[in-house]
Structures are given as structure tokens and as C-alpha cells.
Structure 1
Amino acid sequence: MAAEVLMPRPTSVFIDFHGDEAALVDALTEVLGCPLLREELDVGTLYRCRLLDTELVLFGDHGLEDDCGIRFTEYSHQLQLTAFDVGRRIPGYDRMYESMAVFLGERLSARLNARTLVVANLQRTVAVFSAGAAAAERAGAGAGHGDDGSHGEQEAMTPGDGLSCRCIDETMLRLKWSIQALAAPAAAQLRLFPDFVCVADELAIDFEEALRGIRSAGSSDAGDREEAEAPERAGALTPAQRAAVDALDAQLEEMSGPEHAEMWTDDALHNSAEWTRVRHLAALALRTMDWPIELPPQGRAMYVGPPDRVDDTT
């Protein structure tokens, strides 16, 4: 496949806080360990800082409507994390990026006794924290922290707790969309993406990332069990479903590499026997999963493009 130039997906922490905004700014400053610069703009007041080559911007009145099954309107403030290094692919950077947002969501929930929501690309829920999410953990560490033990009964979705269940739901949805795109006719596949990208690459990358998410979530829940069993347990894949997905993965892998560059063109999407087989295997996987053979929603991903045209659909 062609070389990748990716931009890490924007990640946001949404905060349900209706107290003095200064208290929110103070709490965020304490968690980050660096001051926030206040800016008065036409759209309102922003608070901004830079940390780990990432810009963090806090603002209220985000103006987002509920979308992708996410209730943005229930949250008063948005803390947006945006990477500066937009033109390079850094292995694992997206995971670090999301982990930073999850950490901020948990800490702010505990300090402000407020609900927080972590969302990637304004499309995928990463974590949800109830008000006072970390209080039980911090109170258990001993006295002197000033925590109210009554918060200990609040329930939180944290990376070591119930988060994996929600992550499975989101990664399974991404897997569904990616397989639906692979099963579509060539003309429909080309319409799913901007004209500046290599569509064949994007189809494979979307699928690979979704499948990696299923396997990663499975590995985190596997404990001492054999890793090979993890995807079935975590992603609720039956042996037949796993076999169908693996067959599709193997076909794309067989087509990869510089010696098969001619298979990753628009012309190949229309005319090659290899992509006809990909569509057949993708349709089989959809039927095995009991998912409809239909087009996935547009605007659901980041795209590969030349360095001067890195783009985002959100």
C-alpha cells in the first residue's frame, strides 16, 4: 500500500459543569500543571495551553448537537485536544492521545464532582465518567486528600473497569462500517472518500484499524488466557464470524506490498479480480455477522493524503 501521512484524530473531553467557570479553569490548570492563556474571541472566551506537542483549548457553548448516538448537549464545556505534529505518522500516537484525554476526563470528574465524556473525532465514545469518578480510588489511598467519601458510591467507566465494554461496541461498529465499505461496488467506494486520497488504501486501512481495535480490546481482557482466544470473547465473535473476518484480512494481506502496487489504484477497484474477491469475502463476512449489506456513513474517518493536503472530515 502507499505510504501513509496521517493526522491524529481530534479528541475532546466534554464536561457537565455548571459552577463558576474559574473553578473549572483552576481544576484543569492543577491537573495539567501548566497555566491556561485566556483569549477573548468573537465566539466567546477560550482558555488555551500547549502540552506534549498538543494544543488544549477549553471553551463553553460548544454548539454541538447530539450526533452519532452521543449526547453532546448534556455537557456544558468542551476541552479539545489537537496535535501540532499533523504531517507525520508516529506509531502509537493516537493511543497516547486518547489516554491523555481519558486521564483528564477522570481527574476533572473527581475534582469537580462532574460528569465527563471522552470522544474521539466527535464520533466515537472513548470513556464516560460519573460525577466524582475517582473519589473511591483516591479515598482508599488514605486520609489527607480532602476527598468526600460519599463520592465512593459513584460509578465510573475507567480503562481498568467497564470501559472495555463500551470500547467493544464502538470498535464493532467501526468493523461493521469498514466491511460494508469493502463490500460496496467500486463506484460507491470511490464516492465514500475525498478525491485526493488513495481509496483502495483507505478501504484497507479502515478495516485494519477496526480489526486491530477488536484484537486490542480482547487482549486487554484476556488476562493469562491464550491471546488467540481474546478476540472471540472480547468482540463476541463466533468461530464462523472470526473465520470470515480472517479470510478477508488474509486476502488484503496477500495483495499488500510494493510488488502489488498496481492493485491499489482506482482502476484496480473497478477491474481487478482481487478486488472482486475482496467484495465477495466482505459480503460473506457481513452475512455471517448478520449485518446489512449497505453503504456505511460518510465522513467517519481521517484520510491519507499528501503532506500539504492532510485533511479531516470533521
Structure 2
Amino acid sequence: MKCLAVLTSGGDAPGMNAAIRSVVRVGIDKGWQVMGVRHGYTGLITNDVISLGARDVSGIIQQGGTMLGSARCPEFKTEDGRLKALRVLNEHKIEGLVIIGGGGSQTGAHALSQMGFPVIGVASTIDNDLYGSDVTIGVDTALNIALEAIDRLKVTALSHERAFLIEVMGRDCGYLALMAGIAGGTEAIVIPEVETDPEALADELRSAYQRGQAHALVVVAEGAKYNAAALAEYFKKHCKRLGFDLRVTTLGHVQRGGAPSAYDRLLATRLSADAVERLTRGEHGVLVGFVKGEIKATPLAEVVANKKLLDLHLLELARMLAK
């Protein structure tokens, strides 16, 4: 019986457990023995590998996070670290590996693939910044958590006639901030892709106050040059009169937790099933993602060489809506 392994790497994302479950059960159905690698690439290097059966993944589809655990692994970036990983894979007679994760994880997948090992990536990151997939596992859940927070903060902002700077995750990509800002009807959006003039933002808040608005909300991506804390500090020092009393709320890792949405469960299940089917057919060295409404495979070489761009026309739409 051929042996297949699965690991989750990088930041956890709601839906990763659904992806693991799909790999295990579809793998068994296709005749594979399935192994799980714990704690991402670290587990590959340290031989932290377990056997997974159909019952081992019962009751996890609704759980956030990853039952296999995840970790950053600087050692895997070295050739020596990758050679250790290959020795572990060969020791267990593993003939295919499914790697569930985002950009850093798929860079590691590409490195293994270049060394001749059969690897398939599955697109999973709440930042939605991975080339090769229009939407990635975890995005829908994280976006809805941010939106719920915005809706709740709008209530208290209205009650106290305040402005809120709401910081969401997004180190290098403003997707969550942009989409949450549009869906939440906020007055302004700050993202890493577009440089923000804090003076211009202050003018927008003043304008909202002068138009008679009882509150104002600004969604800020954590990776923007001026994140929420930096903006608040700037306003405190340089903008004495905004009109509104200002507060800062940072959502942080709360966006990663909680039960995955139905969309993320279905996406994770479908992408991971497709990954196993491709390995069974002998296809590897690709990322499985969702492109233009269909499941597609993109060579890992293309994934790591390209940057996914944000549709900045949506930022202009958000500006027009914030009247």
C-alpha cells in the first residue's frame, strides 16, 4: 500500500481541520495509507509523524485550528534541514505529501518538489494573499469575524458618538481590511498597498463629523505603514480636533479562532480531495486553489514567483460609498 502524508504549516486558518479530514478519508478511499506530520515542517525534521485513520479525524470538521499543530521552522529554510525532512519521509516510505498552508508553506513545498519529492500544496491562509487561488481556506471565516466586530463596534460608537480605529490582520495584504470595510460600511480603509496620509484621514473624520454623522469607523490592516496604534498616536500629537472622541480596537488573532464557516469547510474539503486525487494520478509540484469558480492547479514555481495583487478599484468603490 502506498503511503501519503499531510501537514499544516504557517499560521492556522479556520478550515484546516476540514482539509486534514478530507485528505485522510479520500486518501483511504483511493487506497493510500495516510500519515500526519505534527507541527508542520518542524515535525518533518524531528520525525513527529503519526498514522491517521478515518476515525482519527472524526468530529474535527467543525473545529478551528489544526489537530496536527503548526509551527514556524527556520531550519527548513536550510538545505541541511530539508535533507533531514527527506530522510524522515523516506524512512516512513511516504510517496506523496499534501502541504496545507500559505505563502511560506508553499515556498517550502516548492523547495521539496525541486528536490524530487512528490508534493501538492493546498491554498490556506486568512490573508488571501496566495497566488494561484482567488480565495483561500480560512478567509471567509476571518472576514465574517471581522465584520461581526465592526457591526458590534458601530453600535457602541453610535451610542457614545465616537470614532473607532479597528485593526484587522493582514501583514502584507489588505484584503481583509478592504472587504470588511466595504461590507461593514466604514468611513475609511487603510491598507499596506496604498500609502495613507494621516492628515487626509483626519480630514475625512472631521468631514464626517461636520456632516452630522454620530460616529465614524476606520478599518486598518495591521501591516499598513500607519497601523491603528500609529494613527492614534499621530492624531493625538498633531490633530487636536477630530470632532469625535477616538478609540482603538485591535482584533488580532481572534480572527483565526472559532468554528469555520460552511464555505470554508466546503472549500477545504474540495481542495484537499482534489489534491489527493491528483497525487493518485501521479501529478505533483502544484498548488490546488480556487480560480474563477473552479478548482485549478498552478505550478508551485509560478506560485512562489508571483505576487497576488489586490483589486484597488474596490478601494475607490469604498471611498464613494463612504458619504
TM-score by structure 2 length?
Answer: 0.31
Higher relative contact order (CA 8 A, sep 6+): 2
TM-score by structure 1 length?
Answer: 0.31
